[in-house]
Structure 1
Amino acid sequence: MQKKNAVSKNPTNVSVREKVEEKLKTSEERFRLLSEAAEEGIAIHDNGVIVEANEALARMFGYELSEMIGMNAESISTPESFKMIREHIFTEYDKPYEGIGVRKDGSTFVCSLVGKPYKYKNRILRVAVLRDITERKNAEKSLRESEERYRLLTDNVTDAIFTTDMNFNYTYASPSAYNIVGYTTDEFITLRVEQLVEPETLSWFAEMFAEELEIENRADRDLKRSRVLEYQHVRKDGSKVWVETKLTFLRNENNAAIGMLGIVRDITTRKQTEEKLLFEGQRFRALAEQSSDIIIVVNQELAVTYENPAIERILGFKAEERMGVNVFDLLHPDDLKSVTAAYHELFSNINTPVQRSEIRLRHQDGSWRIFEAVASNLVQDNVVGAVIVNLRDITERKNAEAELLQEQQFSKLLLNNLPGIFCLCTYPENRLVLWNRQIETLLGFNTEEIKGHLATDWVAPESLETVLKAIEAVMRKGQDSMEISLIAKDGHPIPFFVTGVRFEIRSLSYFIVIGTDITERRESEKLLKKSEAQYRLLADHMKDQIWIMDLNLATTYISPSVEKLLGYNLEQIKQLSLDKILTVQSLQAAMDFFSTEMSKALAAPPTYLLTRSLELEFICKDGRILWIECAFSFIRDENGKPLSILGEGRNITERKQMEDSLKKSEENFRHSLDDSPLGVRISTAIGETIYANRAILDIYGYDSIEELKETSLKDRYTPESYAEFQIRKEKRLRGEPGPSEYEVSIVRKDGEIRHLHVLRKEIFWSGKKLSQVIYQDITLRRQAEKKLNDILENLRQSIKTTIQVLGTASEARDPYTAGHQKRVANLARAIATEMKLPHDKIEAIRMAGAIHDIGKIS
């Protein structure tokens, strides 16, 4: 009855399996379509070996898809990233992380990875999804650099910058505000406007603010308009300072005013100058009359309105003759274009800075003299009324400079290739005579923009007085050095370490400046301080143990986690020898490590990485023994020289206890297998023997497992059993489940054939998925079954003969009935055969007919 039920259920099982297989194929096709359409790279791997991947992954690494299959993750990642990937595989880490991929052409890129395990056809695989985030990383880097440049600009700009809300509450102030009003940034933003100005000024502010709010209500208002104010600020010490403030509204995304941005400039000096202008004007004529330089005043029509007597002494013309003539009357034609542009700039803009240049003027005798020209505008009621020009005859100096330049052509070539800056300056004018290309490159000016300038023109205003004193020290002592900041063309300061040297030729005094850009050094110092602070913060708060030793193995620093774990503070550890905090075996292991590995690392280049770690037993202050996994590396100086030893530790006591427990468990398991009366073998999918107990050797008749391994499977099986083994192996290699119970026939070492009943089960052995195979020798049972079958067959033949004899007798007695019964019996057997009844049932029908005939005899 049980066999009949099994037969009736079989079609249903086949139908279910077909549906499952169809569903699996549909799922695989859907996964393939999704993976091919994805922009991310997708890989399915088995312990790091890629077994499936999509086109996006192949494009990402520059390989053909067929090349990717079978590749190991180690070949497409940097060593550091592969180490991390391998750890995540073993720990089944399923959170996103970042790594460095290596393309086929050797280039690298930053990628985001996430992996998850899944079971496929009785195999545990991992699906990894990769995304190229190089562009995002570059964008983040650019943003950080942009933010840093903006911060440096606002923190170091000379003018003060502030913002307020619409109620005049300060919301931000740059550090330079301190130089103007004497308040720090934190103090400044707690103040209100009325605390920084006189009541009259505050009322004036209110009127102008009301005007601006009225303008804000207009539809045609200028959203970028600004207003410039001049007023006095009240400083923290009660003194007053004149400032010029440019105010602009801050707006939200709807262009509504939400606050104000102010840029404040100290104009106290300018205001004082204006106040003194009248007095200076009176004194000007007296000084001009006595000046050794030519002084000219020119009106907007470019006509000379004043010229001092020095023109007669230098150029031979009387001052009276020059009144009303065009200022360009004596100018060299080649200088006309640049001088005209300078005059136009001075007359068109009241804020035009002082214009400096070198020009040539004609002497009364027809020769040309070279002058250093300094021109500035005279402003009255916000209108340029005139331009005053100071002309200094530098003909002799220029001739000397020309000779000097001719003599030093080789030196100039050399100087232009110096890594630092170089310039030659006149004294006491401090004017640049010669400079190398590095000045132009670093500061961003071209040759024409530098020509005629003073060496101090690019010094930060707050450092100008210090620099002037340093120049005097150079001329007095012959040499001096200092650190200064020069302002580049784009406005950002560049720090230099400069050395000045006195230089004289033909009774003329000069000084040479040689400087080195120390921007990188400054940045390195900042980064080093920041890195040290971050590192100490990290070390003080991390759970792992951190300590630092000098090269004599004396401890100089421990993280709080060390003190918490061992119970000793730094001072106590300094006084303890290593044998007090390490067990005897661990002390010996540590000494062996330091005498071999550390000495090797000391002699190696700075790029050498010490990758070996130690597992040591530490003795706590309270007597407890803890296992700690230790790793060591060098802390080096900028030249790569080792300064100290960095130790990193992790408490692995629980892990060691688990490992010991697991080891004992495995030993007990192996002992039970070794003593089992049944044959037990651990094998791979292809049949390779990993372990075999004594009973297996007895079954096969071999003396050792090595002898068993050296004998091929084909020689250990009968031909029929070996063919069946090949079929089972192919199924396992395809990932299909094989039978868990079957019988095999083996050939012993002595040639005897034995029959075995086999039970097979998948297990994990030493961390790997293998097969446990249990063998029971059923040779004697098979022999007994064969003997029993032979007896039954003999008995069946005897009964058949007896029945045939009796049947013949029955036919002789009643031929008609016997023939009829025989035909009926044969028909019944034919029907049973058509119904596919078992052979024993068909034979029973035949037997029943014969017995029926025998019954008639009686």
Structure 2
Amino acid sequence: CILAPVDGASGGKGNLDPSDHHRDELGNGAAGGDGGSRHANGMPGQDDGWLRSVVEHSSEIVTVVDPDGTLRYANPAWGRALGHNPWEAVGKMNVLDHVHPDDLPHVLEQTEKVLSEGGIATNEAEYRFRRKDGSWRWMQSVGIYLLDDPAVGSVVITSRDVTERKEAMRRSEERLRSLADSAFEGILLTDAGEILEANRALIDMFGYATAELVGRSALEFVAPEHRDLVRRNIASGAEDPYEIVGVRKDGTRLDLEVRGRAYSYRGRDVRVTAVRDVTERKRAEGRLREAEERYRTLVEQIPAVTYIDPVDDPDTSLYTSPHIERMLGYTPEEWKAGKLWPKRLHPDDRERVLAADERFEAGGEEKFSEEYRLLAKDGSVVWVREDAVVVKDDEGKPLYWQGIMSDVTQKKRDEERLHHLAFHDPLTGLPNRRLFVDHLGHALKLTRRQGNRVAVLFMDLDQFKVVNDSLGHEVGD
């Protein structure tokens, strides 16, 4: 094997006597003398010289370590990276003493796990290692456990200095945290539901300190009735937004809009979740619904048809009040689905009303106000008065038409009756003096325009003059 331990005089693992070897500037020496010589760090001699050259000139750090942490071999790359002299360190240094205290438990845990499995095994770890000058370097190591191999009996470790990468990651994480903390939304990182990170907005939202959130299940801060929903969305990896109720530290509840997705964080597959407090929005929506309900109740009691139509398709109704059924016999659904308004215009009024409607839609008139006839479902004629306005947003952009249609059929009948009574005798139904004078006036005007003549025929009734003279012409008529 390339990296076999060195057998000392006692037959155990150890270093060769430095006096028997030449040294290079890092303390690595080449054995002289017999053909069975070995490298001072335990490398086999001439037979495997090419392999020794490969290892010692490698940019990768190669070490051989006993299970208790004693260093048995270190190539020159180890010395260059960490500043230690391999010759001085081999056999004397316990590498575990140079692992950062915060990382040592993880390294020991991984070691124990592999040792418990037995046989040839491999593990990986990232940890900080102390240089000779006291500074720390991040190392990424792969250990091959050859404890059962009689030619090795140790752990062969290949390492790489990843300090620069770690620093770049740290700076990147700091930038991301700065961005996250400046966000208005709460941001949460979880692994299998356990909270790993939380930004400032989320901390303020729930009223906890960071230390009180990290390490706990995110479900603890969800109202019980919504926990199953959150579990399902986490398990399925759902990314669509959904709404839940959260619970603050003081026990108050808040409405939340939540959206999460998978994310790679420090080599782990986690879930990043954006949390938005929509409590005020939900309250406003509730107040709006209450107001709309009161408005709807009021509108539906009005003895007229109220409606809202979109500006881009006026023939389509967004809302038509139920009174349309009492007025024309159509349900609101039938009226909207069939786009019946233009279809039920009276033939004699159609051209006039559609022209007025076009002018209104074109913006030429501030208000639409017309009286016209509609044909009811049963074929009867219904006179209506329609008044409508354009509702605009703050920038003056039209949003929708809003109008009201009143049934004025009775009013029209009353007007016609009054007009008839004004020009006809109520007893006989014959035209009266007023209608005669009106028709005579029209005839005279026409005669003047056309240059014609007009004749008036008088009929005299015997003894009727007495009535006119004594009671007046109105009574006589």
TM-score normalised per structure 2: 0.43
In proportion to residue count, which structure has more helix?
A: 1
Structure with bigger RCO (C-alpha 8 Å, 6+ apart): 2
Structure 1 length-normalised TM: 0.26
